[in-house]
Structure 1
């Protein structure tokens, strides 16, 4: 038995054109059908209440917060009013005893004598004024030390020339007024005449402070004296 071979029908140009036209129509119908399906689904959701549940689920939950006012502070208790208590027993009244009577003896009349006048009074004795007392003699005031022209030295003054004055070329003679006490020590040193330079005047004063003098003897007794002491500063 011979097998029959099935051959597909031949594809013509008209068939290809019809298929292409049907493909284009189908591509246009697909979006329209999708839009129609979406509308149908939305209508169904509105009718069944599904859309309202979705919107309710998407909306945030509103929480109601109640603000409670703080409790009022407790009112302080009113002060206690003292009670009025009536006394059952009457208050006894104070009884004042009568004062005793004192018998006063009658007095006899007295006679008052007149007072004597000033003229009749005894004369007042007068005392003689006391003689002025003689003031006690005051001690003699201490005598001021006199100024002498010269004194003898035990250790003569040795002035030291200041280095700064030497570099600056300062020179001159300072005259010092020196108070020499009973022991021959310079007790007070004053500038009688300045050199015009403080450094030279101070150097002369320090030199006189280091000097030692012989005490001034008068009537066999050492006395303080003033002396004018010149000291010369000269650059050699």
Structure 2
């Protein structure tokens, strides 16, 4: 899985960025699919030193509350992370992740 560039703890950069270990794609809600909703959600993810996404917020909406909530919930409940590290010590950090919903998926 990719290294997430820009992982930070406050204003100090981490030596090793947050890494995604498991990232199932969110399922497009049927109600959103029926309405023809597509879009990109930008999420701000706070990852604890234990690798848990304990706070996931919509930084930029897709324009659909249904898609935004599906993305936020999936990341918080199903994604797994390796935490950032500074000088070999695991630290809490934040990162931004983009999730795209397309009807063709």
* TM-score, scaled relative to structure 1: 0.37
Counterpart of 1:164 in structure 2 is 31
* 2:58 corresponds to which of 157, 177, 191: 191
Verify the 8 A CA contact 1:177 1:228 in the aligned structure 2.
Answer: yes
Matched residue count: 93
Equivalent in 66, 85, 88 of residue 220 of structure 1: 88
* Max Rg structure: 1
Given the two structures, how large is their TM-score scaled by the length of structure 2? 0.80
Runs of 4+ off more than 2 Å = 143-148
| Contact 1:145 1:226 survives alignment (8 Å) | no
Q: Matches of residues 79-98 of structure 1 in structure 2 within 5 Å? A: none
Question: If each structure's helix is expressed as a fraction of its own residues, which one has the higher value?
Answer: 1
Q: Provide the residue aligned with 2:73 in structure 1.
A: 206
CA drift of 1:154 comes to 1.5
* Residue pair 1:146, 1:226 contacting (<8 A) in 2 also: no
* Structure 1: 5+ residue stretches without partners: 1-142
Which residue among 19, 40, 43 is the counterpart of 1:152?
A: 19
- 1:146–1:162 Cα change, 3 Å: farther
* Larger proportion of strand: 2
> C-alpha displacement at 1:219, in angstroms?
0.3
Structure 2 unmatched runs, 5+: 1-8
Counterpart Cα distance in 2 of 1:172 and 1:147: 30
Does 1:181 pair with 2:59?
Answer: no
